[in-house]
Amino acid sequence: MATARQITANRIHARSCTGPRTHAGRAISSQNALKTGIDAKADVIRTESRASYDALIATLYTRFRPSTPEQRRLADNLIRTEWLSRRYAAAANVINRSLDERQDSDLGRVYIDHMTRSAAPSAASTWPCVISPAP
């Protein structure tokens, strides 16, 4: 159990540990847990280029020239789908490189067993494939 002196010291220390105070600092710290970006809510994450995203928007709007709200919504959906598809491909590349590194470092053969999974994954499964060492 902590002594009264330790509790007081902890409270004094806690006052100075309040996290980032500036908008820029908060923006940076909000990305601390980001790994692949699959669940990111932001359109562009730190590993992506805002210029590339803006170029995609310009390209698709120029190509399809949406003129009604419905057409703009469809164009926006296409942009979001294309951008997320690129993000997912990048995440898959990171995972595959990680698996290759594990194989190259002799930590054991790793394989992805997606062919033997049932078509409908169980409620406990959150990822459609199983990554495990070879027997």
pLDDT digits (tens, 9 = 90+) for 61-91: 999 999 999 999 999 999 999 999 999 998 8
The answer to whether residue 123 sits within a structural domain is: no
The answer to whether residue 13 sits within a structural domain is: yes
pLDDT digits (tens, 9 = 90+) for 91-114: 888 888 887 777 655 444 444 444
pTM of the full predicted structure? Answer: 0.56
The answer to whether residue 107 sits within a structural domain is: yes
The answer to whether residue 119 sits within a structural domain is: no
Give, in order, the Cα–Cα distances in Å from 131 to each of 12, 95, 111, 121.
46, 10, 6, 15
Total structural domains within the chain: 1
- The residue segments making up the domain with residue 45 are 4-113
117: pLDDT strictly greater than 60? no
pLDDT digits (tens, 9 = 90+) for 23-62: 888 877 777 767 677 788 889 988 899 999 999 999 999 9
